[in-house]
Amino acid sequence: MYRSELQQLAGLPFAKGHATGNDFVLLADPTGALEITAAQVESLCHRRFGIGGDGLIRAVPTAQMSGYEQQFNENPKAYWFMDYRNNDGSIAEMCGNGVRAFVHFLLAEGLVNLPVGQSLQIGSRAGVKEVTRLTDGYAANLGPWGLIHEDQAASDSVDSMVRPSGWEQALPALSITMGNPHTVVALPDQGMLDDLNLFIAPEVSPAPPYGTNVEFVVPAEPLIEDGTARVKMRVFERGVGETLSCGTGACAAAAAMRYWARGTALINNWSVEVPGGTVGVEFLANGDAREDTVLSGPAELVARGIIGRD
Ligand SMILES: N[C@H](CCC[C@H](N)C(=O)O)C(=O)O
pLDDT tens per residue across span 12-70: 999 999 999 999 999 999 999 999 999 999 999 999 999 999 999 999 999 999 999 99
pLDDT at 204 over 70: yes
Percent of the chain with pLDDT over 90: 89
Q: CA dihedral defined by 168, 257, 20, 32, rounded to 10 degrees?
A: 100
| In the predicted structure, residue 289 carries a pLDDT above the cut 90 | no
Strand-pairing partners, residue 171, are 162
Determine whether the annotation assigns residue 237 to a binding site: yes
Average of pLDDT values for 163-190?
96
| Strand stretches in the chain, DSSP E | 13-19, 22-28, 55-61, 80-86, 119-123, 129-134, 137-144, 146-147, 160-163, 171-177, 181-186, 203-205, 213-225, 228-237, 241-243, 269-274, 277-284, 292-297, 300-306
> How many other C-beta atoms can be found within 10 angstroms of the C-beta atom of residue 201?
15
The band of 202, judged by pLDDT with boundaries at 50, 70 and 90, is very high
Domain boundary among 141, 164, 192: 141
* 35 is a domain residue: yes
Q: In this prediction, what percent of the chain has a pLDDT beyond 70? A: 96
Mutation pick for ligand 1 pocket among 42, 54, 240 (CB with most ligand atoms within 8 Å):
240
Residue 238: what pLDDT? 98
Indicate whether 293 and 165 sit together in one domain: yes
86: pLDDT confidence band, cut at 50, 70 and 90? very high
Read off the pLDDT of each residue in 116-138 and give the average, rounded to a whole number. Answer: 98
Backbone CA torsion sign across 220, 129, 150, 234: negative
pTM of the model: 0.96
* 251 is an active site residue: no
Ligand 1 pocket member 86 (CB < 6 A): yes
> In this structure, what CATH number is given to the domain that contains residue 53?
3.10.310.10
170/226 same-domain check: yes
pLDDT score at 125: 98
- What pLDDT does 154 receive? 66
How many C-beta neighbours within 10 Å does residue 119 have?
A: 16
Given 141, 162, 193, the domain boundary residue is: 141
Of the candidates 122, 141, 160, which is a domain's last residue? 141
Distance 58 CA to ligand 1 centre (A): 15
What is the tally of structural domains in the chain?
2
Q: What is the pLDDT of residue 5?
A: 87
The conformational region for residue 81 under phi > 0 = left, psi -120 to 50 = alpha, else beta, is beta
Rounded mean pLDDT, 140-162: 86
pLDDT at 7: 87
Is the model's pLDDT at 307 over the cut of 70? yes
> Any binding-site annotation on 268?
no
* 105-115 pLDDT, tens digit each: 999 999 999 99
- If asked whether residues 102 and 209 sit together in one domain, one would say no
Q: Predicted confidence band at 1 (pLDDT cuts at 50, 70, 90)?
A: low
Q: Could you tell me if residue 308 is inside a domain?
A: no
Q: What's the mean pLDDT in 74-96? A: 98
pLDDT band at 287 (very low <50, low <70, confident <90, very high): low
3-class DSSP state of 162:
strand
Q: What is the mean pLDDT of residues 238-250?
A: 98
Average pLDDT, whole number, for the chain?
Answer: 95
Same domain for 127 and 257, yes or no, is: no
Which ligand 1 atom is at minimum distance from the Cα of 243? 1
Same domain, yes or no: 65 and 111: yes
In a domain, 272, yes or no: yes
**Mutational test site, ligand 1, from 20, 182, 237, max ligand atoms within 8 Å of CB:** 237
Which range of residues forms the domain containing residue 188?
146-297
Residue 45 annotated as catalytic: no
- At 112 the pLDDT is 98
